[in-house]
Amino acid sequence: MELALGTVQFGLPYGIAGRGEPVPAAEVRRILQIAHAGGIRLLDTAAAYGTIEERLPALCGGLQFRVVSKIPALPGGADLAAVGQFVADAVRSARQRLGDSLSVMLFHRADDLLGPAADAAWGAALDAARPHGVQLGVSVYGPGEARVVQQRFAIDAVQVPANAFDQRLREVGLSGMATHVRSVLLQGLLLMPVADATARVPAAAQPLARWRRWCEERGLGMLQAALAIVKGMGTASHAVIGVDSAAQLETILDAWQSSAPLTAPELACSNLDVIDPRRWNAV
């Protein structure tokens, strides 16, 4: 498994433990330099992440990365012809912005490949992407969704959450496509002080207490433990991490190099109020 670098923090205020504003351009350049020097060659972006997709080539400053981007959620109520045009335009726009570095386009919303417009959307994506060697896939909120989409379409890649609490990928398993895991640190929740973390996500109080005890009993730092557990999950090709600073990335690179794969099924949590950030504001 290799590290990949997410870019949402570069375009939007993001994450429960984030800095509350997009990362400044000068810091982004420094982060990208450190990422490349540290062996990272895959970036994850999207048109929905503010303006970062269009700014990314200039910020990379000639550094060679492969890039994963995403097709935005389909417009509601559009007819099939309009859906096809929307998807084709999204792929073409990503190619215009990212050029030959664009390697994968993911449908940002899995439901778009399961609803009545799915065939039109997939067909348009194939026509726009495949002639240019761009692979297609989907971003999901659980491996079960990926399996359902895979039964309908021959997807090349999937992005799925996985971390010390969300171990559904280890339990379900995926095959026949490149698997990129995200939410490795659960938006930083796994590293926050206990009081701050439980104040933000009260439902996570017990899993977080168990997590801290588990790390302490084994003499592991929480970052190293979180990365080691993700390394121990199945056959994913990349773990997508996001950072707010160059120093943060350097710390993660060091921890990644020093961590060996671990399994910790006793830490798994099935409560969606804990493992699905979409639900945090509702709990």
Residue 159: count of CB within 10 angstroms of its CB? 26
- Domain regions of the chain by residue span: 2-188+230-267
What's the N-to-C CA distance of the chain in angstroms? 34
- The tens-digit pLDDT sequence of the chain (283 residues) is 999 999 999 998 776 556 678 999 999 999 999 999 999 999 999 999 999 999 999 999 999 999 999 999 999 888 999 999 999 999 999 999 999 999 999 999 999 999 999 999 999 999 999 999 999 999 999 999 999 999 999 999 999 999 999 999 988 878 889 999 999 999 999 999 989 999 999 999 999 999 999 999 999 999 999 999 999 987 899 999 999 999 999 999 999 999 999 999 999 999 999 999 999 874 4
- Does residue 40 contact residue 4 with C-beta atoms inside 8 Å? yes
Residue 83: count of CB within 10 angstroms of its CB? 22
CATH number of 2-188+230-267: 3.20.20.100
The residues, any chain, with a CB within 8 Å of residue 65's CB and separated by 6 or more, are 32, 36, 40, 41, 42, 43, 101
User: Where does 99-179 have alpha helices with state H?
Assistant: 118-129, 143-152, 168-172
- Does residue 183 contact residue 141 with C-beta atoms inside 8 Å? no
Task: List the structure tokens of 149.
Answer: 């989409």
- Does residue 21 contact residue 13 with C-beta atoms inside 8 Å? yes
Euclidean distance between CA atoms 36 and 45, whole angstroms: 16
With the C-alpha atoms ordered 240, 255, 37, 20, is the resulting torsion angle positive or negative?
Answer: positive
